[in-house]
C-alpha cells in the first residue's frame, strides 16, 4: 500500500471534527499524519482531542507539531502571568475540559505535549505551524515565526529549499484553503464555524468536517 502524507489543520478543541476526519481517512501503518498544532483552546473538547491524537500513534506514523497554544499551555505551568493570558485566549475552555483544574492533566498528555515537534519535512514539502523565513534552513527558524506570525501579516516567499510549505495558524474565515502554490494554509477556522481540513499533500485530496462532525460534501 502506498504511503500517504496527510496534514491536519488547527483543531482547537473540536474533537467531533477530528473524529470524523480520522474515520473517513482511515489511516494505516503506512500513512504519515502531521497535525499542524493548536489542538487545544477555544473549542470545548481539548482533552478529547489529545486523547484521539495519542490513540492515532497505534494506527499510523503520527508527527504532531507544536502550536502557539500548546506553547502557552506548557508555559502556563511555570508562569502565573502566562497562565492568566492563556486563559483569556482560549485556555479557560481547555482547563474546563480537564475538569476545571490543569493539575488533572494525565501524565500521557504531558508527555505528548512536551514531545511536539517544531517542524517536519519530506523530500517535497515542509510543515510548520505558522510561518517561516524563506532564507533560513528549518532548523534555524525562530519560534516567533514558526509559532506566532500570521502569513497574512508577513507573507513569506518560496522557501530556499524549493519545497512546498504546509502551514496552519492563520484562520481562513471563508472555510477555504489558502493556496499560493509554494505555500498552502489549511487552518480553515473549524472552531469559529468553518471546517477542520485534512490534506493529502501528494495527491491534493482534501477532507473537511465541521465542529459537529459533519463531513463537507
Give the CATH number for residue 94: 3.60.21.10
Closest among 82, 84, 8, 94 to 43, alpha carbons compared: 94
Q: In what order do the strands lie in the sheet with 120-121?
A: 120-121, 125-127, 164-167, 183-185, 178-179
The CA radius of gyration of the chain, in Å to the nearest whole number, is 16
Domain count, the chain: 1
pTM above 0.85, yes or no: yes
In a domain, 144, yes or no: no
* Domain extent for 59: 5-121+168-209
pLDDT of residue 1: 63
Instruction: Calculate the average pLDDT of the chain.
Output: 97
In a domain, 11, yes or no: yes
Q: What is the mean pLDDT of residues 161-170?
A: 98
Strands (DSSP E) found in the chain: 5-8, 32-35, 61-62, 120-121, 125-127, 164-167, 178-179, 183-185, 196-200, 206-209
In a domain, 62, yes or no: yes
In a domain, 215, yes or no: no
Question: pLDDT (tens digit, 9 = 90+) per residue, 22-43?
Answer: 999 999 999 999 999 999 999 9
In a domain, 57, yes or no: yes
Cβ 49 vs Cβ 209: under 8 Å: no
Amino acid at each position: 500500500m502506498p504511503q500517504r502524507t496527510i496534514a491536519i489543520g488547527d483543531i482547537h478543541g473540536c474533537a467531533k471534527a477530528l473524529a470524523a476526519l480520522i474515520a473517513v481517512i482511515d489511516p494505516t501503518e503506512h500513512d504519515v499524519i502531521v497535525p499542524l498544532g493548536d489542538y487545544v483552546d477555544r473549542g470545548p473538547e481539548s482533552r478529547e482531542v489529545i486523547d484521539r491524537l495519542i490513540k492515532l500513534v497505534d494506527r499510523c506514523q503520527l508527527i504532531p507539531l507544536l502550536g502557539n497554544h500548546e506553547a502557552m499551555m506548557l508555559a502556563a505551568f511555570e508562569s502565573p502571568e502566562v497562565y492568566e493570558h492563556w486563559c483569556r485566549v482560549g485556555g479557560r475552555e481547555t482547563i474546563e475540559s480537564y475538569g476545571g483544574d490543569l493539575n488533572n492533566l494525565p501524565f500521557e498528555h504531558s508527555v505528548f505535549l512536551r514531545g511536539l515537534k517544531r517542524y517536519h519535512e519530506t523530500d517535497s514539502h515542509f510543515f510548520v505551524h505558522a510561518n517561516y523565513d524563506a532564507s533560513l534552513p528549518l532548523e534555524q527558524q525562530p519560534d516567533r515565526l514558526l509559532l506566532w506570525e500570521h502569513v497574512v501579516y508577513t507573507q513569506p516567499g518560496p522557501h530556499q529549499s524549493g519545497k512546498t510549505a504546509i502551514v496552519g495558524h492563520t484562520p481562513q474565515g471563508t472555510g477555504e484553503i489558502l493556496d499560493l502554490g509554494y505555500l498552502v494554509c489549511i487552518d480553515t477556522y473549524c472552531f469559529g464555524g468553518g471546517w477542520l481540513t485534512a490534506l493529502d499533500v501528494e495527491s491534493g485530496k482534501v477532507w473537511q468536517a465541521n465542529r459537529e462532525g459533519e463531513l463537507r460534501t
